[in-house]
Amino acid sequence: MISESVLVELQNILGREDVLTTREILKTYSYDGTSQWTHEPDVVVFPRTAEQVSAIMKLANAHRIPVTPRGGGTNVSGGSIPVLGGIVLCTTKMDKILKVDRENFTATVECGVVLMNFNARLAAEGLFFPPDPQSFLAATIGGIVAENAGGPAGVKYGVTKQYLLGLEVVLPTGEIIQLGGRTVKNVVGYDLTMLFCSSEGTLGVITKAEFKVNAIPPAKKTILAIYDDVAVAGENVSLVLKSGVIPAKIELLDNWLIHRIEEASPLGLSREADAVLIFEVDGMAEAVEKEADKIIEIAKMNGAREVRPARDQDEANRFWMARRAGFAMIFGRAPTVLAEDVTVPRGQIPALIRKCRELSRKYDLEIVVMGHAGDGNLHPSVLTDIKDSQHFARAEKAVEGIIEAALELGGVLSGEHGIGLEKQRFFRRALGPTVTDLMKNIKSLIDPNNIMNPGKIWD
Partner 1 sequence: MEDLNELKKIEQYVDQCMKCGFCTFFCPIYQEELVESSVARGKIFLTKQVLKGEQQLSDQAMDIIGKCLLCKACAVNCPAKTQVDRVIVGARAEQVRQQGLPLLKRLIFRHVMANRRLFGWTVKLASKLQWMIPGKQGRMKHLPDFLKALGQGRNIPAISSVLLRDQVQEVNPPRDSKAPRMRVGYFMGCATDFIFPETGLKTIEFLTRHGIEVVVPKAQSCCGAAIYFSGDLETGRMLAYKNMEAFKDVDYVVTTCATCSSSLKDYKVYLPENDRQRKDFEAFSKKIKDVTEFLVDVLDIPPEEFHLRKEFQGKTITWHDPCHLVRYQNIRNQPRRILQALEGSTYVEMPNADRCCGMGGSFSIYHYELTKKIADRKVESVKATAADIVVTACPGCMINLSDHLQRAEMPQQVRHLMDLLE
Q: How far is the CB of 114 from partner 1 (least distance, A)?
A: 7
Q: Are 10 and 56 in contact, with CB atoms under 8 Å apart?
A: yes
Q: How far is the CB of 331 from partner 1 (least distance, A)?
A: 4
Q: How far is the CB of 50 from partner 1 (least distance, A)?
A: 18
Non-local (6+) Cβ contacts of 376 within 8 A are 343, 344, 345, 346, 348, 349, 411, 415
Q: Are 209 and 108 in contact, with CB atoms under 8 Å apart?
A: yes
Using alpha carbons only, give the angle 196, 138, 380 rounded to the nearest 5 degrees. Answer: 80
**Separation of alpha carbons 164 and 197, rounded Å:** 8
Q: How far is the CB of 88 from partner 1 (least distance, A)?
A: 10
Nearer to partner 1, 5 or 22 (CB): 22
Nearer to partner 1, 34 or 377 (CB): 34
Through-space distance between the first and last CA atoms of the chain, rounded to whole angstroms: 23
Nearer to partner 1, 24 or 459 (CB): 24
Q: Are 99 and 221 in contact, with CB atoms under 8 Å apart?
A: no
Q: How far is the CB of 92 from partner 1 (least distance, A)?
A: 4
Spatial strand order in the sheet of 249-254: 304-309, 219-227, 275-283, 249-254, 366-372, 377-384, 336-339
Question: What backbone phi and psi angles, to 5 degrees, belong to 226?
Answer: -115, 135
The CA-atom distances, in angstroms, between 419 and each of 17, 73, 90 are: 33, 15, 20
Nearer to partner 1, 25 or 284 (CB): 25
Nearer to partner 1, 10 or 353 (CB): 10
Nearer to partner 1, 206 or 409 (CB): 206
Tell me which residues touch partner 1 (CB under 8 A).
Answer: 20, 22-25, 27-35, 46, 72-74, 90, 92-93, 95, 112, 114, 116, 135, 137-138, 324-325, 327-328, 331-332, 335, 337
Q: How far is the CB of 78 from partner 1 (least distance, A)?
A: 12
Nearer to partner 1, 135 or 160 (CB): 135
Q: Are 338 and 395 in contact, with CB atoms under 8 Å apart?
A: yes
The DSSP string of 273-285 is --EEEEEEEEESH
Using alpha carbons only, give the angle 432, 436, 437 rounded to the nearest 5 degrees. Answer: 120
Q: How far is the CB of 48 from partner 1 (least distance, A)?
A: 11
